[in-house]
Structure 1
Amino acid sequence: MKVSTTKTVVFITGAFVSSACWNDWKAYFERKGYTCYAPSWPHKDALAATLRLQHPDARIAANGLASVTDFFADFVQKLPEKPILIGHSFGGLMTQLLLQRDLAAAGIAIDSGPPQFLLTTKFSFAKSIYKAFGFFTDVNKPYLMSFKDWQYAFTNGLPLEEQKASYEALLLPESKRLFREALTSVAHVDYKKPHAPLLFTAGSNDHIVPASLNYSNYKKYKDKNSVTDFKEFEGRTHFVLGQKNWQEVADYCLNWIAQH
């Protein structure tokens, strides 16, 4: 089946944020004729402000990369057709892992979190995420990113009011277990395995997942009979889903889908 004939899209949210980050994208794709889903992660199906008030919630702390990936695997297998997966950050990594299981017609990994053993020496990468691992702290208590860290990691260079509004609307407590599992075989990608068409997109101003790290992820795929593409967007931060002119990125994704 050509990807362009598939009319189901599942958006996979990344770490730290509410699935509401996809609201505009979901509506945009639906206007183009797609049936779209943006499931919340387990125990995160509430307003961001509500979940922050409930912090620390041991249920969120129990989420791991394995369990959340399995949650999405179960979700997509119940759909009437293999969907197109579009994941951001950790959602991008889960998109890679689900394609590896042959559970999608295609995948788009936006600012994808790195699989096992894929690292970068970029200082911004370490600065953005080291607190989320919570080494030497209780793994059963989730981590809540500060506004200052949100400004650096997600919305660097954006107007202060946009930084504040996005933090209030989207920022969620996050599981340390999730990040620690990303260092294990749970996050292993078999780069030699054939896979459905896969597009990586990156932002030149992304602090958490630098464009160079995304490019390294893309270049590791080895199967010459599988479609693997890469696109870098100038001036985009890790907040690419809500950043001004996000439609440019969405249109690129739609056009890529139509061509495969």
Structure 2
Amino acid sequence: MIAATTTTTTTIVFITGAFVTHHIWDGWINYFTGKGFNCIAPAWPYKDGTAEELRNRMPNDTDLAGLRLQELLDHYSAIIQRLPEKPIVIGHSLGGLLVQLLVNKDLVTAGIAIHSVPPKGVTSFKWSFIKSIWKPLGYFTSAKKTHLMSLAEWKYAFTNGMSEQEQKESYEKNVIPESKRVLRDILTKAAKVDFKKPRPPLLFISGSTDNIIPESLNYDNYLKYDRSHSVTGYKEFAGKNHFVPGLPSWHDEAGYIIEWLQIAGV
């Protein structure tokens, strides 16, 4: 008798960034599921609700206000460790930083960092970057309260170049309050990675019109890594702002990721 064999479908874990609901990945989940992957997009702690529900907790959502980067990393590490096999992780913005930290911990088979917030030691002095992060960091405001991006902030940092109607609709559908403590932790050792450590394949994706995470900052992030012993990729998409997962053209990045995974042998 020939023994029965079983196959395990590779899981992709999607990780959202700051200020946006995890439901932004819904279209991506459908796309990658159709390509044969098992897909999940777990919410951050204290964010498992609709954008409207989370905004209604403002300004005194003390649980979310108290969230720290290490707690967030532990949250996704625990989710991944409960899976039957190491997954692929795809993260956007601060979710991209989490991808880099999870890759550094060797918890995944591959990581894709889309317009990634950089780890400690990688920064930019471009005015668009400084302007975009100054209010969210809120150093002259209380960390006991969350920060909700205004529509004006959203237009500049995430959806520059889009029509007024698209900007307003995307704001109402996606924007949620954020912990200032998590954002401030990006500048601390909690966001440190070992760039020389052998690791799973890692792909960086950037956009030429991103204000909050300029393409030059993404490229500097990529260049920090020792690429002599581990697969490392970089791809810039022309005309893309920071709102990549929610743009009508998100299939550009999704299709490229599929191709890159195949080339990287994942």
Relative to the length of structure 1, the TM-score reads 0.97
Match of 1:55 in 2: 58
1:212, distance to aligned residue in structure 2 (A):
0.3
Match of 1:26 in 2: 29
Letter paired with 1:116: K
1:123, distance to aligned residue in structure 2 (A):
0.4
1:132, distance to aligned residue in structure 2 (A):
1.0
Unaligned runs of 5+ in 2: 1-7
Identify the match of residue 18 of structure 2 among 15, 18, 37: 15
Does residue 210 (structure 1) correspond to residue 214 (structure 2)? The answer is yes
Match of 2:203 in 1: 199
Letter paired with 1:12: I
Match of 1:187 in 2: 191
Letter paired with 1:250: A
1:49-92 superposed Cα distances (whole Å, 9 cap, x missing partner): 11111112111111111111110000001001100000000000
Partner of 1:74: helix, strand, or coil?
helix
Does residue 130 (structure 1) correspond to residue 108 (structure 2)? The answer is no
Q: Which deviates further from its counterpart, 176-185 or 241-250?
A: 241-250
Identify the match of residue 237 of structure 2 among 233, 236, 239: 233
Query: Are 2:207 and 2:237, in contact at CA under 8 Å, matched by a contact in 1?
Result: yes
Relative to structure 1, is the Cα distance of residues 43 and 89 closer, same or farther in structure 2, using a 3 angstrom cutoff? Answer: same
Partner of 2:236: helix, strand, or coil?
strand
- Aligned-residue CA RMSD in angstroms? 1.0
1:223, distance to aligned residue in structure 2 (A):
4.5
Identify the match of residue 167 of structure 1 among 171, 174, 179: 171
**Structure 1: 4+ residue segments shifted above 3 A:** none
The whole-number CA distance in structure 2 between the counterparts of 1:6 and 1:53 is 38
Partner of 2:53: helix, strand, or coil?
helix
Query: Are 2:137 and 2:184, in contact at CA under 8 Å, matched by a contact in 1?
Result: yes
Identify the match of residue 69 of structure 1 among 73, 76, 79: 73
Match of 1:222 in 2: 226
Partner of 2:246: helix, strand, or coil?
coil
1:15, distance to aligned residue in structure 2 (A):
0.4
Relative to structure 1, is the Cα distance of residues 193 and 58 closer, same or farther in structure 2, using a 3 angstrom cutoff? Answer: same
Query: Are 1:76 and 1:83, in contact at CA under 8 Å, matched by a contact in 2?
Result: yes
Partner of 1:144: helix, strand, or coil?
coil
The whole-number CA distance in structure 1 between the counterparts of 2:172 and 2:207 is 23
Identity %: 52
1:136, distance to aligned residue in structure 2 (A):
2.1
Match of 2:88 in 1: 84
Unaligned runs of 5+ in 1: none
Query: Are 1:6 and 1:83, in contact at CA under 8 Å, matched by a contact in 2?
Result: no
The whole-number CA distance in structure 2 between the counterparts of 1:48 and 1:218 is 32
Partner of 1:85: helix, strand, or coil?
strand
Match of 2:124 in 1: 120
1:115-166 superposed Cα distances (whole Å, 9 cap, x missing partner): 1121111100011111111112111100010001000000001011111111
1:174-200 superposed Cα distances (whole Å, 9 cap, x missing partner): 000011111100000110101100000
Larger-Rg structure: 2
Query: Are 2:9 and 2:36, in contact at CA under 8 Å, matched by a contact in 1?
Result: no
